[in-house]
Amino acid sequence: AQKVTQAQTEISVVEKEDVTLDCVYETRDTTYYLFWYKQPPSGELVFLIRRNSFDEQNEISGRYSWNFQKSTSSFNFTITASQVVDSAVYFCALSGGGLRGGAGSYQLTFGKGTKLSVIP
Amino acid sequence: KAGVTQTPRYLIKTRGQQVTLSCSPISGHRSVSWYQQTPGQGLQFLFEYFSETQRNKGNFPGRFSGRQFSNSRSEMNVSTLELGDSALYLCASSLQNQGRETQYFGPGTRLLVL
């Protein structure tokens, strides 16, 4: 069974502060994929970043960066210089549990989400 | 490229009725997955269709069903609605839904069961 834990339920920061969202996962798969999605009040899940389990290189993309550590099963996401438009619920997700034998069909297992409020 | 579209966006039904939700994937995407989002259970996988075949199914009762058409558009049906079926239903599409692919989500259908 796969599991994703986002311990932070809600976070409030003042605009321009940096904020890190934590994500811890559990899986028995040796190959898996991790994602971060953003859900604004409109409801649509917006894809942010993806990381493969065999690539622990951490990257920065604009104001977003992520820290993937297999040793601690963590995939944390950081927003630098937060803005009011960043206010949303952020979900960490794990892709796996697909049909064995490489037949595809990977379902996403989501964490409960972290509600981020950026205060002007 | 147009994104994933879902219709209707909002729906109100009463207990015992049935409902059909529709999802049109991104052009060229052949895999469509459905997820249910509720405040209590969060986001949960319902099922996935690829080339008109259900390839994977989550832990939901048989009242939840779906299908996919030859143009990759998908519908999901919920029969004998219960109050607990009130949720945001999200559809996601990907090329073939291999693990390395990103699933792109639509805006969802908000279903309220009274």
What digits encode the pLDDT tens for the residues A83-94? 999 999 999 999
Q: Is the Cβ pair B99, A112 closer than 8 Å?
A: no
The more confidently predicted of residues A106 and B57 is B57
Q: What integer pLDDT is reported at residue B84 of this predicted model?
A: 96
Nearest by CB to A105, from B43, B55, B104: name it. Answer: B55
Q: Is A91 on the interface with B (CB under 8 A)?
A: yes
Estimate to the nearest angstrom the gap between the alpha carbon of B87 and the chain centroid: 11
3-state helix, strand, coil in chain B (%, to 5): 5, 55, 45
Candidate from A46-55, A76-85, A106-115, B38-47 with smallest mean pLDDT:
A46-55
- Render pLDDT for A42-76 as a digit per residue (tens, 0 to 9): 889 999 988 888 877 677 778 999 999 989 999 99
**How far B55 CA lies from chain A's nearest CA (Å)?**
6
DSSP H helical segments within B1-114, as ranges?
none
Taking contacts as CB-CB distances below 8 angstroms, the residues of chain A near B88 are 43
**How far B16 CA lies from chain A's nearest CA (Å)?**
26
Q: Which strands, in side-by-side order, build the sheet including B64-68?
A: B5-7, B19-24, B74-78, B64-68
Q: What integer pLDDT is reported at residue B101 of this predicted model?
A: 79
**How far B99 CA lies from chain A's nearest CA (Å)?**
5
Secondary structure (DSSP) of chain A: --EEE---SEEEEETT--EEE--EEE---SS-EEEEEEE-TT---EEEEEEETT-----EETTEEEEEEGGGTEEEEEESS--GGG-EEEEEEEEE---TTT---PEEEE---EEEEEE-
pLDDT of A100 strictly over 60: no
Mean pLDDT taken over chain A: 88
Taking the CA atoms of residue A91, residue B57, residue A96 and residue B98 in that order, the dihedral angle to the nearest 10 degrees is -100
Taking contacts as CB-CB distances below 8 angstroms, the residues of chain A near B7 are none
Pick among A105, A109, A110, A114 to test the B interface (most B CBs inside 10 A): A105
Q: Is A101 on the interface with B (CB under 8 A)?
A: no
The Cα–Cα gap between A82 and A62 comes to: 12
Residues pairing with B23 in the sheet: B6, B74
Taking contacts as CB-CB distances below 8 angstroms, the residues of chain B near A30 are none
* pLDDT tier at A101, thresholds 50, 70, 90: very low
Q: What integer pLDDT is reported at residue B96 of this predicted model?
A: 73
Q: Is the Cβ pair A105, B105 closer than 8 Å?
A: no
**How far A46 CA lies from chain B's nearest CA (Å)?**
7
pLDDT of B64 strictly over 60: yes
What is the pLDDT averaged over residues B9-36? 96
What is the pLDDT averaged over residues B16-34? 96
- Render pLDDT for B100-112 as a digit per residue (tens, 0 to 9): 778 999 999 999 9
Nearest by CB to B43, from A46, A96, A110: name it. Answer: A110
Taking contacts as CB-CB distances below 8 angstroms, the residues of chain A near B106 are 44
Q: What integer pLDDT is reported at residue B17 of this predicted model?
A: 98
With CA atoms as reference, the chain B residue closest to A32 would be B99
* pLDDT tier at A32, thresholds 50, 70, 90: confident
